[in-house]
Amino acid sequence: MSTRSVRKSAAVCAVGVLWVLSLLQPCGAAESRVWTDSSGKHKVTATFMSRDGTTVRLRRQDGKTIIMQMDRLSADDREYIESLDSNPFEEGVVDDENAVSGAPSSSFPMSGKTQKFDGWDKPVFIGDRTREKNLSVAGAASEWKYSPVVAEPKTLKEFRPVPVLKGAKFGAGAYAQDVSVIAPSKDRADGAFFVGFKTGVLNTAQSFVARCDVEKGVGELAELEIKEARLCDVSPDGAWAVFIVGLNVEPGFPKKAFLAFVDLSAISDAGTLRPSAVFCPYYEEQAIGTFKNRTFGELENALWVDDDHVITQSRDATTLWNIKTCAAEYTIAGAGYAALDPSRKSLVFVSGAAAGFYDALTGESLGTLAVEASEGERVFVQANCAFSQSGAKLAFTSPQGLAIADLTSGKVERVLKSPTLFKALAWGAENYVIWGQIGFDLETESSLCSYTGLGTEGKSVAGAFGLVWTVADKTLVGFEAPHKAALDALKKAADPDAYDIYPGVGVAIKTDLNGLLDEKEVVENLTESVKRAGLKVDPSSSIVLTAKCKDTGKTVETTCAEVETTLPLGAPPIPLLGRERLKSAITVDLKIFEEGIEITKSGKTLWKMSAITTGPDNIEKEEGKSVEEQIREAHKPESRYFRVAYIPKYVSKSSKGAPVVGAAMTNARITASGVR
């Protein structure tokens, strides 16, 4: 059922669901009177506002609203409410003199307890967690019960780039942050896309949302009334957006603990959007003497399941909310990156080396995808996942690399390696995935192309209509992936004359360690990395891989925290992060070491990479050692670096003999007009 039901500048006085962000005038049929509770002990002077089923709303003389169950009123009061009208929910629509000029064209249907916060002049809905089911990833099913909705990706015949950062609001140097490209649901065929972003810094940043019609090439842009807001998702019908925001609820910078629901039909050039409702999912208030202790759960993400349900995620929990009643239906304890499948019926968690699937509306476990641990091959990645455009495959990050899973069988097919640190992840063709800025061909496991100018934040890319979407040069761009340059690179991969490095090539291994590491151990580790790249070790080859380690002669002042780590009970299939408690911190002057690999041919550099050691951020104290001793031990160069090091499978020959440094065979630039 659509949630868009109330006309602009009007409010229903006594309807089943009220918009409490505007103060409604009392209906003519009601009058101020003394109300008594069912015990007869408590009384209040108030005006009847409305009844929603068994819930009654009364307005006190000080203007504050009372929400209570009808059965808690005296028999006389209940009889009075029944006498007001045979159907109190059809008393009509009245003009709201308190309505804000330019308010959204429809109100958001929420009911429940509200709270006022400093710095925000309207009530905020508070989450009701009294009836929620508590679940755990520890009970995730090993049996694969997830059934993907597999479909042929829809394809746009024509697309004209859509400018989304435009107008006088943006100067020549305006920089967009937290760019989110929200693709439409599978059942939307009108080419609607939504882009959210911010300009400015911290809590003064302006937040914007653009609605784009990719078939007509037209974009509309509006600014949010609330600063520092991040677009998380758009409802399946494209009517509402949900943002994570922070209000001034405590000293310093506001905590991102609120959801703002915004009517997207109000988007227009140079317009201002005002939230139709603000919701605080995780909130507790306890009295301590004459003071109140407020506790807020910081939000990480929000996902729209259907017209009635939104999923929120904090560091500790993922919760399904009925957003019309503000009631939590279930909570799954534990950390992890959360996403919905293309049908919005299943929830997937990515945490550690596994991805777990759950029914989005019930929390029932549907199975787990796990990546087998591989000693010495862990890479640093940020949690993320993306479904292929057909819905048949899933790509998700793990410490072993990017895992590609077949969702029809529930099996991980392969794991890709890349030195990427970014969260951006999207599918083009069924066998082509973009991770960070690198496009991978899954058949050959080759990194074909580095896309310069591609957004790298988690939601800055999206796959839909057979294209990959991002924002480049202040414009929404849709492009084919793999594009022509990437396909040409794939063809050239079979030609040994096109590359100095390609699978099967022999390389010699040498070291330049300055006595800082064990040479034998380094050679063994680097040999594993070379074989993992599909290369051969050949001491007589003119292509030489040199493992390097040196003391740079510089020092850095490093502050390291001593922490205690408490791990959750049990052994869930999806690893959970331990909760750390800071004990103390110490500052130490440390030497700066540099480790790296250089590939040369006949004395000319073909490829190189390096890393700087700067000391640990935190450390858990060992018995019998000082914290400073442990820091210095942890800071030393490690031969393990050469076991986990990324070695490229392909290095192109340069037409001018200049070194080619990079992880992909070719480079392409994303521009407002597409790929170049």
Burial of 529 (0-12, 13-18, 19+ CB in 10 A): buried
- 151 contacts 343 by C-beta, under 8 angstroms: no
Non-local CB neighbours of 45 within 8 Å, separated by 6+ positions: 32, 33, 34, 35, 60, 61
Q: For residue 337, give the H/E element and its range.
A: strand 337-340
Structure tokens at 435: 């991770």
pTM over 0.75? The answer is no
- 191 contacts 469 by C-beta, under 8 angstroms: no
pLDDT for residue 134 is more than 60 = yes
Non-local CB neighbours of 175 within 8 Å, separated by 6+ positions: 199
Q: For residue 584, give the H/E element and its range.
A: strand 579-601
356-370, 375-389, 560-574: range with lowest mean pLDDT: 560-574
Report the distance separating Cα 19 and Cα 522, nearest Å: 66
List b or e across 482-505, with b for residues whose CB sees 16 or more CB atoms inside 10 angstroms: bbebbbbbbebbeeeebbbbbeeb
Query: How much is the average pLDDT of 141-152?
Result: 85
Q: φ, ψ for residue 115 (rounded to 5)?
A: -145, 145
Question: Angle at the Cα of 277 (from 235 to 28), degrees rounded to 5?
Answer: 125
Structure tokens at 359: 């029914």
Report the distance separating Cα 68 and Cα 55, nearest Å: 6
115-119, 424-428, 436-440, 540-544: range with lowest mean pLDDT: 115-119
List b or e across 548-560, with b for residues whose CB sees 16 or more CB atoms inside 10 angstroms: bbbeeeeeeebeb
Report the distance separating Cα 666 and Cα 485, nearest Å: 7
Residue 539 carries which side chain, given as an amino acid letter? Answer: P
The distance between the two most distant Cα atoms of the chain, rounded to a whole number of Å, is 100
Candidates 410, 491, 448, 482; CA nearest to 146 is 410
pLDDT for residue 380 is more than 70 = no
DSSP labels, 245-272: EEES-SSSSPEEEEEEEEEGGG--TTEE
Give the single-character DSSP code of 73.
B
Give the single-character DSSP code of 621.
P
Report the distance separating Cα 610 and Cα 131, nearest Å: 54
Structure tokens at 519: 């040479």
How many helices (H) does the chain have, and how many strands (E)? 5, 50
Query: pLDDT tens digits, residue range 107-119?
Result: 788 988 898 887 6
For residue 228, give the 3-state DSSP assignment: coil
Query: pLDDT tens digits, residue range 203-262?
Result: 678 889 988 888 788 888 888 888 889 999 999 888 899 999 988 766 666 788 999 999
55-69, 89-103, 109-123, 294-308: range with lowest mean pLDDT: 89-103
252-261, 263-272, 537-546, 566-575 — most confident range? 537-546
Q: Which is higher by pLDDT, 237 or 547?
A: 547
pLDDT for residue 163 is more than 90 = no
pLDDT of res. 75: 87
Burial of 384 (0-12, 13-18, 19+ CB in 10 A): buried
Q: Provide the mean pLDDT of the chain.
A: 78
Give the single-character DSSP code of 128.
B
Q: How far is CA 578 from the centre of its chain?
A: 21
pLDDT for residue 573 is more than 50 = no
pLDDT for residue 565 is more than 50 = no
**CB count, 10 Å around CB of 381?**
20
Give the single-character DSSP code of 185.
P
Q: Which is higher by pLDDT, 382 or 349?
A: 349
3-state SS track over 550-582 = EEEEEEEEEEEEEEEEECCCCCCCCCCCCEEEE
- 418 contacts 456 by C-beta, under 8 angstroms: no
pLDDT for residue 501 is more than 50 = yes
pLDDT for residue 126 is more than 90 = yes
Residue 244 carries which side chain, given as an amino acid letter? Answer: I
| Pairing of the two strands 446-452 and 666-671 | parallel
Query: How much is the average pLDDT of 351-356?
Result: 86
Report the distance separating Cα 368 and Cα 143, nearest Å: 8
pLDDT for residue 2 is more than 80 = no
Query: How much is the average pLDDT of 408-428?
Result: 84
Q: For residue 643, give the H/E element and its range.
A: helix 641-644
| Pairing of the two strands 317-322 and 666-671 | unpaired
Q: Which is higher by pLDDT, 43 or 587?
A: 43
| Half-sphere exposure of residue 373: CA atoms within 13 angstroms, side-chain side | 5
pLDDT for residue 450 is more than 90 = no
Query: How much is the average pLDDT of 272-279?
Result: 90
pLDDT band at residue 411 under the 50/70/90 scheme: very high
Q: Which is higher by pLDDT, 656 or 173?
A: 173
| Pairing of the two strands 120-126 and 277-280 | parallel
Structure tokens at 433: 């995935």
Q: Which is higher by pLDDT, 570 or 637?
A: 637
pLDDT of res. 145: 92
**Strand-pair partners of 92:** none
195-199, 296-300, 541-545, 618-622 — most confident range? 541-545
List b or e across 248-286, with b for residues whose CB sees 16 or more CB atoms inside 10 angstroms: ebeeeebbbbbbbbbbbebbeeeeebbbbbbbbbbbeee
pLDDT band at residue 666 under the 50/70/90 scheme: confident
27-36, 177-186, 212-221, 320-329: range with lowest mean pLDDT: 27-36
What Rg do the C-alpha atoms of the chain give, in angstroms?
A: 29
**CB count, 10 Å around CB of 455?**
25
pLDDT of res. 393: 96
Candidates 267, 275, 268; CA nearest to 243 is 275
Report the distance separating Cα 383 and Cα 356, nearest Å: 13
- 191 contacts 465 by C-beta, under 8 angstroms: yes
27-36, 234-243, 370-379, 538-547 — most confident range? 538-547
| Pairing of the two strands 133-136 and 327-333 | parallel
Q: Which is higher by pLDDT, 374 or 135?
A: 135
C-alpha pair distances (Å), 211 with each of 29, 188, 562: 43, 14, 47
pLDDT of res. 140: 66
Domains of the chain: 10-107 (2.30.30.700), 133-492 (2.130.10.10), 504-569+579-648 (3.30.160)
Question: What size, in residues, is the chain?
Answer: 676
pLDDT of res. 656: 43
Report the distance separating Cα 129 and Cα 279, nearest Å: 13
Torsion of Cα atoms, 530 then 533 then 536 then 540, to 10°: -60
- 385 contacts 395 by C-beta, under 8 angstroms: yes
pLDDT of res. 458: 83
pLDDT band at residue 563 under the 50/70/90 scheme: low
pLDDT for residue 26 is more than 50 = no
Report the distance separating Cα 618 and Cα 133, nearest Å: 36
Q: Which is higher by pLDDT, 388 or 578?
A: 388
Long-range CB contacts for residues 83-91, cutoff 8 Å, separation at least 24: 84/29, 84/30, 84/48, 85/29, 88/14, 88/50, 88/51, 89/14, 89/15, 89/16, 89/50, 89/51, 91/13, 91/14, 91/27, 91/29
